[in-house]
Structure 1
Amino acid sequence: MTQSLEHVYKKLEAMQVDLEDLRNTYKGVSKRYMVALTSLNTLTIHSSDAAKRAAKSTEQSRVAAMNAMIAAREASGNPALLMVVESAVTASVAAALAAVESAAAAAAAAAAASAAVAHQAEESLLKASNEAAVASRMAAEAAAEAVKLSNQAREIVDGIHKKS
């Protein structure tokens, strides 16, 4: 009987050691999980911020393309200002290209935010990802408008060249 109790105590002692090992492992995993979650949260917030900034940049490029197109249209009535018109068209094209690049950056940032959310669906991450997606959509719309304005400016120059 004493021998079997001794055997039970040894088993209990081994189980206690195993349980302590499991606790320590859990603590380590939990700590690493919290670090990863914090990093993921930070990445999502930064991605969302980058998408919003890219959308603002795209909007500014759209405004630049619009102003360049207006300058080309206003100067198109005077053949002596052909160089001004062509410079305005060049500026409009550059603004449209900048808008497209900014829109692509916004889309990439929104994708990064969405990927982060896919790994850890937390309310703050979902909100940041949604904001990034909205910013990306706005950037794409502004880029499309900038390209349209650039094309209008190009048509003005083409019309001047046909008259000449």
Structure 2
Amino acid sequence: MSQELELVYKKLAEMQADLEDLRNTYKGVSKSYLVALSSLNELTLQSSEAAKRAAKSTEQSRIAAMNAMMAAKEASGNPTLHKVVETAVTAAVAAALAAVESAAAAAAAAAAASAAVAHQAEESLLKASTEAAAASRMAADSAAEAVRLSNQAREIVDAVNKKS
């Protein structure tokens, strides 16, 4: 009987050691999970912020394209300002390209935010991802407008060149 009891105690000690190993493993996994979740939250918030900033940049590029197009339009009436018209068109095109690049950055940031949310659907992350998507849409709209304005500026210079 004592031999059987000794075997039971030995098995019990092994099970306690296994249980302690499992606890330690769980603590490690739990800690790693919390670190990963925190990183994911931070990534989502940073991606959302990047999308918003890119959208603002796109809007500024749209304004620059509009101003350049207006300058080209104003200067187009004076043949001596032909070089100003050309420069304004170049500025409008550059602003449109900057707007397109910013819109692409906004879309990439919004995609990163969405990917993070797909892994961990928390309300704050969903809100950040939604804001990033809205910023991306605004950026795309501004980029399209900047391209339209740059095309108008190009049409102005083409009309001036035909007159010359």
**Which bin holds the TM-score, normalised by the shorter protein?**
over 0.9
- RMSD of aligned alpha carbons: 0.9
**Identity %, equivalent residues:** 82
Opposite residue 127 of structure 2, the aligned amino acid is K
TM-score, normalized by length of structure 1? 0.97
Quote how far apart the aligned CAs of 1:50 are: 0.6
What does residue 54 of structure 1 align with?
Answer: 54
Could you list the runs of 4 or more consecutive aligned residues of structure 1 that deviate by over 2 angstroms after TM superposition?
none
- Equivalence map 1:54-93=2 (5 Å): 54-93=54-93
Q: Indicate the SS of the match to 2:48.
A: helix
Quote how far apart the aligned CAs of 1:120 are: 1.4
> Structure 2 CA distance, aligned partners of 1:127 and 1:119?
15
> Structure 2 CA distance, aligned partners of 1:122 and 1:7?
50
Opposite residue 27 of structure 1, the aligned amino acid is K
Structure 1 residues without counterparts, runs of 5 or longer: none
Task: Report which stretch shifted further, 39-48 or 4-13.
Answer: 4-13
What does residue 112 of structure 1 align with?
Answer: 112
Q: Are residues 1:9 and 2:9 paired?
A: yes
Quote how far apart the aligned CAs of 1:123 are: 1.4
CA-to-aligned-CA distance 1:56-86 (integer Å, 9 cap, x gap): 0000000000011111111111111111111
Structure 2 residues without counterparts, runs of 5 or longer: none
Quote how far apart the aligned CAs of 1:121 are: 1.4
Q: Are residues 1:141 and 2:159 paired?
A: no
Quote how far apart the aligned CAs of 1:2 are: 2.2
What does residue 121 of structure 2 align with?
Answer: 121
> Structure 1 CA distance, aligned partners of 2:133 and 2:16?
51
Task: Report which stretch shifted further, 60-69 or 126-135.
Answer: 126-135
What does residue 152 of structure 1 align with?
Answer: 152
TM-score, normalized by length of structure 2? 0.97
Opposite residue 73 of structure 2, the aligned amino acid is R
